[in-house]
Structure 1
């Protein structure tokens, strides 16, 4: 259709690829909101569930950690579980983004601004 138009045809192809990439990234962003990861601490005494975008959704805390004299330990376990969930969310997000960049023939470590 654009054969013989040289650079204009290349530009149209690039614009189409950019639009496809934008659609894939938007779909991935939507998917990340539906994926969950679970971070744990204290050998599973505290579990934090977050979306793959890092939004905390739930905490599951074993009641045995609620000993008044161990308040600081309980707080540390809760923070550790949340940090673990956030770390796993970031890894999942990078993994999913890597699938898109790989599919576009971009380097594996290419970072998109999203």
Structure 2
């Protein structure tokens, strides 16, 4: 490989690294909502940090706490799956067409 080609490739890699870092930062600012039963909502960031849990009063039954726990788990897992999908779609654009096993 000639020196000019290598230098150009290094500049491209640096540019891509900056774009990836920016995309990763923007993921942290995204809010993804997961729901269960229409009565429990969990909101996570694109970095999979739970930032909000909303429970409608009708979901609270002192006789059936287990159902509320299940709804919270389901809503949280729904939000986390959506966050994973968003991260894979966002970061996958940088590896499209490359054969880089184990990156994402």
TM-score normalised to structure 1 length: 0.82
Q: Secondary structure at the match of 1:113?
A: coil
User: Counterpart in 1 of 2:45?
Assistant: 51
Please give the residue correspondences for 1:1-114 in structure 2 after superposition, counting only pairs within 5 Å: 7-42=2-37, 44-102=38-96, 106-107=97-98, 113=103
Structure 1, unpaired ranges of 5+: 1-5
Cα drift, residue 98 of structure 1:
2.4
User: Counterpart in 2 of 1:3?
Assistant: none
Q: How many residue pairs get matched?
A: 104
RMSD over equivalenced CA pairs, Å: 1.9
Counterparts of 2:30 and 2:23, CA distance in 1: 10
Bigger Cα Rg = 1
Counterparts of 2:42 and 2:62, CA distance in 1: 22
Structure 2, unpaired ranges of 5+: none
Structure 1 runs (4+) deviating above 4 angstroms are 109-112
1:67-94 Cα distance to aligned partner (Å, 9 max, x none) = 1111000000001100000000000011
